Structure 1
Amino acid sequence: MMVFAAMLTAAAFAVMPQEARADETREEAGRCAVRYLQVNHSTNASRIIAGYEAIDLRDRAWQLIWTHELAPAISTGSSTFAEDLNNFARGQASYLQLGRMRDITLLPELPLQADIDSGDTDLQESAVSRLADCDRTFGFAPVIALAPVLSDFDCAVAYWLLGAFNSAQQGMALHRARFAIARHLEANPGTQRQQVEQQVMVDGQARGQRIQQGQESSDLMQATLARCEMKYGFAQNSGQ
């Protein structure tokens, strides 16, 4: 009898670490779901995260919620779980209960969108690293990564191309292309403006040809323009 009891005790201890690991995984899934949703509230994510427009972070969040059964079975208040989740992601709630039996409680972390929108390179890299860890842990692809640095020259080409494709925006696009060229010249003293303007036109024509031939998506150019707008602050001042 004592031997049988000892076997039961040993079996119980063997199961406990597995249950603990399962709970840790579910809690981490909840945290990652919140992080993905927080990024959707960022105003700067499209400039910081590579290929942001093609990544459905909301879908990743809800995949985690359904896969790990994080939605409570019943509501205990007047709000729905989706509302509670959104409020928590926005930093408007002091805790979030997860799991069918509400057996997991998340407390707020520093909001990820604040780091992404901070303008601080170290904070932005840390935020993207945490998102990438979530991707790798739960098998999402592509893994979130920092967008490559967008140069003033790249923006000048994008604005030139916008003017070439869209006559209604030609004046605005030319003004912004000149602005980007001026920034490029400031960063590269000794460079001749005429040579830079000529190269911008050559590169713009080449990129336009790739788009017309289907070798490059026009969505990619639109994403570049959006990042340039953020880079120069034009997105916050439509009167520029």
Structure 2
Amino acid sequence: MTSSDAEFSAAVRRTFRLAERIAPAMGDGVVPVWCDNRDGGRTLVGTAFFVERERRSFLVTALHNFTNNAGAILKIEFSGMVWTLSEMSGRTSPADDLWVAEADADLQQRLRAINVPLLKRDEPESCQFGTGTVLMGYPEDLSLPGAPFRPLAISTTLDVRDGLATTSTLPEPIIYNVADDFLSTAEGLTVMHRPDIFGMSGGPAFSWFCTAVPSSNKAAFNFFLQGMIVSWQRRKGYVVACNAARIAALITAP
């Protein structure tokens, strides 16, 4: 291996180590959505996460977490407190399968203790790129009766397969490839089979990329909120996400 090859390999390793830090850095703001069950426990419904827009905090999840569980009282727990989603001032966009609600003063105060992603990108095209992606949520497969819900973060890429036919009707959807048998978790653990991610609906997707630092041979690592997980097409091996710009549009709508 030449010195240039060694330097390149070292740079790649450093970059992936940085990508592995996204989940730990953002994980506190990703929470399970659940409802009470007859046994006095909790039944996992999906995933939700917090975002910040112009110094205001919002909770985001998939609308179908409500419509698929009609009559259920959906809740989240954060910072030792339980919030009932129906009691929050929620806005919906059925076309985007999207539900958002602004955090109240108490929740807003508690969120100051954690990292919350900034929702900055208003143009859908500005969310459609990245070298890699980290999908986060609470899959049903890891949910054991009577045990705390367990999160999962999956490192993958945008799906660029030619002629990929999707069933998505979302405006400006983002598609991720989860067909690879050699995916890894965001903590670097190899996944030797396609992960079953039902339960991660409503979770965040973060895109990462590197940019050159002027007057330097170094690169800067960047990541941003790219979208919200909406559906998992198991047989075709892809995940569909609502574009983060569509989340911003619903938040800022009059």
> What interval of TM-score do these two structures reach, taking the shorter chain for normalisation?
under 0.3
**TM-score w.r.t. structure 1 length?**
0.25
**TM-score w.r.t. structure 2 length?**
0.24
| More helix, by proportion | 1
Computing the radius of gyration from Cα coordinates, the structure with the larger value is: 1
Q: Which has the higher contact order (CA 8 A, sep 6+)?
A: 2
| More strand, by proportion | 2
